C-alpha cells in the first residue's frame, strides 16, 4: 500500500518527536552522571572480576565467552555476571550463542561512556591473555 503525503508527514513528525525525546533523555543522563557513577562504583568496588566482566560485555559475547576472556573459575565469573545484571549494569539480550546468553550494557552506560570511567577509576590487574596481547612483538601480523 503506497504512502500518502499525510502518512509521510506523520512519519517525519514522529521521527522528530523521538529525536527530541532522546536528546532530552541524554541531557538528563549527563545532569545525573554522578548518580550513575556512584552506582557503578558501588557495584564494582573491590572486585576485579566484576570490573573485567563489565568491560568485556559488548552485546556480542555470550556468558561463556566472557568467562573465557576474563579467566578465573566459572562460578566466580558467573556470580560477577549475575551481580552486574542484578544491579542494572548489564542485561541479558534474551539471545544465545551456543546456548549461552548474550549480555549488553544499558544505553545510559554507552551515552555516559562508563567504560572509560571504569578504566580510569578502577585499576585492574591484567590476566595472562591481556598481558600477552599488550607485549610488543606479539602481533600475529609480524
| Predicted structure pTM score | 0.75
pLDDT value for 12: 92
Q: What are phi and psi of 112, to 5 degrees?
A: -90, 5
Task: Determine the CATH number of domain 32-124.
Answer: 1.10.10.10
What sign results for the dihedral spanned by CA atoms 80, 85, 89, 95?
Answer: positive
DSSP 62: B
Q: Per-residue pLDDT tens for 35-89?
A: 999 999 999 988 999 999 999 999 999 999 999 999 989 999 999 999 999 999 9
User: 84, 118 in Cβ contact below 8 A?
Assistant: no
Q: Per-residue pLDDT tens for 74-131?
A: 999 999 999 999 999 999 999 999 999 999 999 999 999 999 999 999 977 655 444 4
Amino acid at each position: 500500500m503506497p504512502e500518502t503525503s499525510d502518512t509521510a508527514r506523520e512519519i517525519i513528525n514522529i521521527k522528530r518527536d523521538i529525536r527530541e525525546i532522546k536528546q532530552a533523555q541524554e541531557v538528563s543522563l549527563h545532569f545525573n552522571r554522578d548518580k550513575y557513577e556512584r552506582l557503578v562504583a558501588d557495584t564494582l568496588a573491590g572486585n576485579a572480576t566484576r570490573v573485567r566482566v563489565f568491560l568485556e560485555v559488548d552485546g556480542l559475547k555470550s556468558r561463556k565467552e566472557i568467562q573465557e576472556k576474563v579467566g578465573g573459575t566459572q562460578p566466580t565469573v558467573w556470580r560477577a555476571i549475575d551481580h552486574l545484571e542484578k544491579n542494572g549494569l548489564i542485561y541479558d539480550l534474551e539471545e544465545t550463542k551456543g546456548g549461552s546468553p548474550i549480555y549488553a550494557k544499558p544505553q545510559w552506560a554507552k551515552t555516559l561512556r562508563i567504560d572509560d570511567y571504569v578504566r580510569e577509576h578502577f585499576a585492574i590487574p591484567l590476566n595472562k591473555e591481556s598481558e600477552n596481547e599488550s607485549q610488543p612483538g606479539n602481533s600475529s601480523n609480524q
